[in-house]
Structure 1
Amino acid sequence: MKVLIVDMTHGGTVIASQFTEIPGFHVYAWDIYQTLKEDVKTSLRNKNVEFVGIEFLKDLDEDSWVIAPVHCNLGLYIEDSDTAESSNGTGKVSRFMTHHEAVDFLMRKRIDVPVIEVTGVKGKTSTVSMLKEIFKDLNPLVLSSLGVEVLENGESHLLKGNISITPASVVEAWELLEEFLERSENPFEVGICIFETSLGGTGLADVGVLTNVVENYSVAGGTNCAADAKSQIFRSRMVACDFESFNSFYLNSTAENPAYNEMMVKNGISPGLQNGILMADIQDKTNTFSLNQDANVKASNIEFGFYETVFQVEVSDLKTVNENILNTSFEVSAFAPAPYHLQNILSVVCTALTLETPVKNIKKGLKSFKGINGRTSIREYNGVRVIEEINPGLNVEAVKKAVNMLSTISDEDNGSAVVFGGKYGVTCEEIDEKAVSFVLNRLDPRTDLIFVDDLGKNVKNLINRDFTFKKTLDDALKHALFTGSGNVLVVYRSNYSDVERR
């Protein structure tokens, strides 16, 4: 049987290698972005992987499988056929799978512990980090944009840094764990997996988490959108989903929901069927969370603080993995200096309760979470309070929320400054400079605005208020200190590990 793996840039090498180990498959690889290094090609060829190009698509037949990432629109390359049985009509093949579905196919019998998968536009890494704290007594295997780690009796072992969060990284994380346990003098049991995954879930999860769809950006060359791609999370056994996103894009996926229906038709997908999931059936397995809406998990009596926010969790008719219904209320204190941080906490509470985690474990785990260096963290710099929002996936919505957070802490006696900048090419999605400039132009005139690095150099040309430009982050912080700012918000597009090396 032929199996064509499309896109070697976003995890296809791992998937192709895995399929070579399954008898009966003849594996082909299409390096559609031409990024693969020659030594990696040689390694795959040694495993009998055959590299092909667009011309190979003519040779697909009813005995072929095609595996492509959800952001790759193969409809641009493969002619429709009446004999096609694939879910999206991409061609004459017996089976079409996304990379996410392929990982489910490869790993379902290998991973034998509960799984949590986290996807969304913003807040994924923070959500994973809080879940790690809650479940650390179970020796979790954790995959996030910060790397792959496993906890052993509370002690973290970093198995790999600088890893992507493509679905194929789930395979890599599990194999890194297996290798680590084989080398360990005192092997231990991993009790849960917590995976951050881009553009949806694999279907392996007992609870899939959709943090939000705050920006429904386009994928697949503009022929698809984030909300559709991330709908793969609903292949999970249960789902914890942001209330607003659920109601805007996924609930009642028929004519009853014009916004959803319009999105599906625009992207050439039959309403009601999305990524092989009958979306009208998802309500029974979805719990929602929200700050202000009538969700299954919401917050009340909120008292925001820089280092600790105290609030009441209200739980209403939450469905658990064991088919129980939960109604309760309890107080939580956690690091959440702004509403969008609290929203991430609610996603974590919703997830943990869905797994029937004791409330005392949830409260203890959240109490121990102090933020992630860069996203979001608060530190002192020569007597100045510095709030860092350093994120490779920085987008306009994140800038808005960070600036709004600053406005809640500023006062006339303690001046504030915003440092904005960063790098290009950190992720596949670039930032909308005009939209960012609109946000920064509306800053309080009393707030100093300091641009830095390549991104700052471009955006400053769109600004019609006073600003300063500095070449480095250190220079920008020194300038803010010199001008007397008591609070400095750093909004910077980069990997935090790169910033640490400055």
Structure 2
Amino acid sequence: MKILIIDMTHGGDLLALEYAERENDVTCVDCYGTSSEEKRVLLEEKGIRCMTTAPDEDFDLLVSPIHCPDSFLSNTRYESRKTFHEAVGELVVFRGMIFEVTGARGKTTTCHILSFILNRFGRTIAQLSSRGIHFYDEGIETIEEWVSIAPPSILKVSRLELPYDHWVLEVSLGGTGLADVGIITTLGENYPIAAGSRTAFDGKKQMMNLVKKVAVIPEEERELWTPQIPPGIWVSTFGEGGNVNGVLDGPLELGSDVEVRFKCLPLGEFSTTLKGNFLVPIYLRPMAAALAGLKSCGIPMPQLCEALKDFPGVPGRGEVYKEGETWIIKDHNPGVSGHSIEFEISILEKFYGVDDVGLVIEPTAKRVRERLDLKEMDLIFDVHDSIKGAYLLNPEGKEKEVKNFTSIQDIGEVMDRHPIILWCTKGGFI
């Protein structure tokens, strides 16, 4: 079969290698011009033709990301077309139960909660998330750090020889059709993709279109997603009014354990105590989403909730620790945004009674392709008086001066200025 693959930036090279191994005639187009010479040489050695623009030719199959603009296709003609998600779903074979998680926010945290609880009940799990590839058995083994969550990364994971019985996969912009349980954390902003010809909804709905057994969706988005779910799929919702919802009774104290009640319809309400080394209120929805998905695993809900008492949190997601007399809340992940920062400030004010926060922003770190938009911060300053200082972490002096921010070279410069520092870095693969 003659196959054209568009986009080497988001894993097209991995798909090209997979198709070539199956004795197909493969052409791979680096439409963004980001591939390395080393990568191109590797593909060419495998008999894969590499180009920078789509050729004026006929192909049996076109494979491209859901967000790929049709303008990249030029005069190319093709008999059939698949998204990267669909192609991965057809190429990969896993044994065991598979969870896929997509959505605008909370994907990585939901994955880690799923894996942690499953492992508590003796399951072995291979997990792919933006934090990397991890294997859960008697402990947690890091196979590779900071991995892209574009669907072709699943091809890489599928080749690992691990004694797993469950897969937990974070996938950007939709599902692949591999999932027994497909979870959408939230649509969020329905932003345009593919040069405005499609939206984020068009990508994420693939999760619902292709899921095999259980669809997990936010209760407040039920009417949006239900029409996308095939007949015979069991639907479980989370959030207020849903099948699972987490409830907190404030006020809370930083660093102290927190009692949480999970309302699980129609079973009742179950309480557990969570550790204080992470910002518990921002974990409530991911926990509810994970529990809603785990209802299908045959583990009683009271035991699922109880297992959370040992959950350690996720590094870089609302970590809470103290240095000297100063509390640090640390976010270092690709999902850091104006929205996420505003949400955490609101949580600190509402649940912890905080009235003096130093906000430290690091707009980008290595391995991230999208900088934090500092213009999003203006609204936060307007509505949150608790921010008593805002600082731009600028260790190499390369950042421009930004309105409302004081430039610093090291976080130690502000440690004694505020009782609480919210330190946010946009970093990692997306």
Normalising by the residue count of structure 2, what TM-score does the alignment of the two structures yield? 0.88
Match of 2:155 in 1: 171
Matching residue's letter, 2:245: K
Alignment of 1:42-61 (within 5 A): 42-56=41-55, 58-61=56-59
Residue 402 of structure 2 is aligned to residue 435 of structure 1: no
Instruction: Choose which of 272, 291, 312 in structure 1 pairs with 2:261.
Output: 312
Whether contact under 8 Å (1:138, 1:191) holds in the other structure is yes
Whether contact under 8 Å (2:216, 2:236) holds in the other structure is yes
Q: Deviations over 1:410-454 (max 9, x none)?
A: 456xx4322223227854444443232221343316722223239
Tell me how far 1:69 sits from its aligned partner. 0.7
Whether contact under 8 Å (2:368, 2:426) holds in the other structure is no
Instruction: Choose which of 325, 338, 347 in structure 2 pairs with 1:396.
Output: 338
Question: What's the RMSD between the two structures over aligned residues?
Answer: 2.8
Tell me how far 1:105 sits from its aligned partner. 0.7
Tell me how far 1:390 sits from its aligned partner. 2.0
Match of 2:103 in 1: 120
Tell me how far 1:455 sits from its aligned partner. 12
Matching residue's letter, 1:74: D
Whether contact under 8 Å (2:63, 2:82) holds in the other structure is yes
Structure 1, unaligned runs of 5 or more: 80-90, 182-188, 253-278, 318-326, 497-502
Whether contact under 8 Å (2:6, 2:29) holds in the other structure is yes
Whether contact under 8 Å (1:116, 1:208) holds in the other structure is yes
Match of 2:125 in 1: 140
1:340 and 1:204 map into 2 onto residues whose CA distance is: 29
Match of 1:77 in 2: 73
Matching residue's letter, 1:229: G
Whether contact under 8 Å (2:363, 2:374) holds in the other structure is no
Match of 2:427 in 1: 494
1:296 and 1:142 map into 2 onto residues whose CA distance is: 25
Q: Deviations over 1:158-215 (max 9, x none)?
A: 221222111111110121x22xx5xxxxxxx311011111111111011011111223
Give 3-state SS (helix, strand or coil) of 2:307's partner: helix
Give 3-state SS (helix, strand or coil) of 2:114's partner: helix
Tell me how far 1:17 sits from its aligned partner. 0.5
Richer in helix (by share): 1
Whether contact under 8 Å (1:199, 1:226) holds in the other structure is yes
1:430 and 1:420 map into 2 onto residues whose CA distance is: 11
1:313 and 1:192 map into 2 onto residues whose CA distance is: 25
Residue 168 of structure 2 is aligned to residue 194 of structure 1: yes
Match of 2:33 in 1: 34
Alignment of 1:258-273 (within 5 A): none
% identity of equivalent residues: 24
Instruction: Choose which of 423, 447, 461 in structure 1 pairs with 2:402.
Output: 461
Whether contact under 8 Å (1:73, 1:220) holds in the other structure is yes
Change (3 A) 1:227 1:30: same
2:394 and 2:100 map into 1 onto residues whose CA distance is: 34
Match of 1:299 in 2: 246
Change (3 A) 1:308 1:221: farther
Give 3-state SS (helix, strand or coil) of 1:10's partner: coil
Match of 2:204 in 1: 230
1:144 and 1:31 map into 2 onto residues whose CA distance is: 25
Whether contact under 8 Å (1:421, 1:454) holds in the other structure is no
Tell me how far 1:302 sits from its aligned partner. 3.9
Give 3-state SS (helix, strand or coil) of 2:78's partner: coil
1:310 and 1:97 map into 2 onto residues whose CA distance is: 47
Whether contact under 8 Å (2:174, 2:207) holds in the other structure is yes
Residue 317 of structure 2 is aligned to residue 378 of structure 1: no
Q: Which has the higher contact order (CA 8 A, sep 6+)?
A: 2
1:331 and 1:348 map into 2 onto residues whose CA distance is: 16
Tell me how far 1:304 sits from its aligned partner. 6.2
Change (3 A) 1:459 1:395: farther
2:52 and 2:291 map into 1 onto residues whose CA distance is: 47
